[in-house]
Amino acid sequence: MLLRTLPHAIAIAIATLFGVSTKVARAVDWVDRPLTNGSMHVQGDVGYGIGFGARQSELSAPLMTTQTDKGSGFHLSAQLGLPLGFEIGARVGFRIGDAGKITRGDEFGRVYDANTYATAGDTASNPEFLLRSSIVATKIVELGSELRFVVPAVSGSSFGMTAGLPFRLRAPGVLRFDTGFYLPTVFTSRNDYAFSIPIQLWFQISNFYVGAISGVKIYRQPFERVDLAAGVGVGVTLGSIFDVRLQVVTQRVNDEEWLRATGLGLNVGVQTP
């Protein structure tokens, strides 16, 4: 018995000597997570999405066309928390085959975030860069500001920018309401733009979370249209650093052919504790 317990006792003694905790930290509940990562904290996401219809992410093209496909793609992103409540990030997508290019399946793999524009229709999407800051941060209310820049790496595409004011209202440990106001703009010869208001309500159940996903997008240039989103999301936190998330969402439930704007997304997130 002594020989079996001695190595464990030595390990605990060494950890205590150097001030290392022997307990596994539990990740912050999903509904309690702040808008920005803590200073020098890193978060990464890998997602796989499937789109069930032709989808155009540029503001200059309609959401649905006469062509219908089922295509998929991968989403990759990373964010780094900085001092004073700032955060920077980057995102890119990869499409599988021609169907993946048409449906932008990678965008559905970017779960719980539909503010994606000007990604173009090539195998690799235009990269997006993020700068976010926290303006008000309490346990109940959070308000932030963010800028997203899309670089036209794909030939023939245009530079895009989205300015946003994300807002969160929560009952700690129980639920969280996410919304905000976003102004995406694609700098074509017409300067295409729209207004976007995401709406999400999340409930925490132990280390699981489930939510209703919705939102309104009002396109103003070069065409006028209103899109209403509807979907559900579910996720689970595993240990101190992993999240597995799933969503089923249609970006245009107010259309009789809403299925062609529908997609599935599965995402695995990793964050430093």
- Go through the domains of the chain in sequence order and give each one's CATH number: 25-271 (2.40.160.40)
* pLDDT of 60 above 80: no
**Distance of alpha carbon 72 from alpha carbon 105, whole angstroms:** 4
* pLDDT of 11 above 70: no
Q: Where is average pLDDT lowest: 37-51, 82-96, 112-126?
A: 112-126
Token output for 211: 């939510």
Own/partner long-range contacts of 213-220 (Cβ < 8 Å, ≥24 apart): 213/112, 213/247, 213/249, 215/114, 217/251, 218/194, 219/59, 219/194, 220/193, 220/194, 220/195
Nearest to 273 by CA among 107, 26, 79: 26
Q: pLDDT higher for 235 or 55?
A: 235
Q: Where is average pLDDT lowest: 102-106, 175-179, 218-222?
A: 218-222
Q: pLDDT higher for 197 or 19?
A: 197
Q: pLDDT higher for 116 or 174?
A: 174
- Give the pLDDT band (50/70/90) at residue 65: very low
The mean pLDDT value for 111-132 works out to: 92
Q: What is the pLDDT of residue 273?
A: 75
Peptide bond before residue 34 is cis, with ω within 30 degrees of 0: no
Strands (E), the chain: 42-51, 71-82, 86-96, 128-137, 141-150, 160-171, 175-186, 192-205, 208-221, 225-238, 242-250, 262-271
* pLDDT of 64 above 70: no
Percentage with pLDDT > 90 across the chain: 67
**Distance of alpha carbon 258 from alpha carbon 114, whole angstroms:** 16
pTM, to two decimals: 0.86
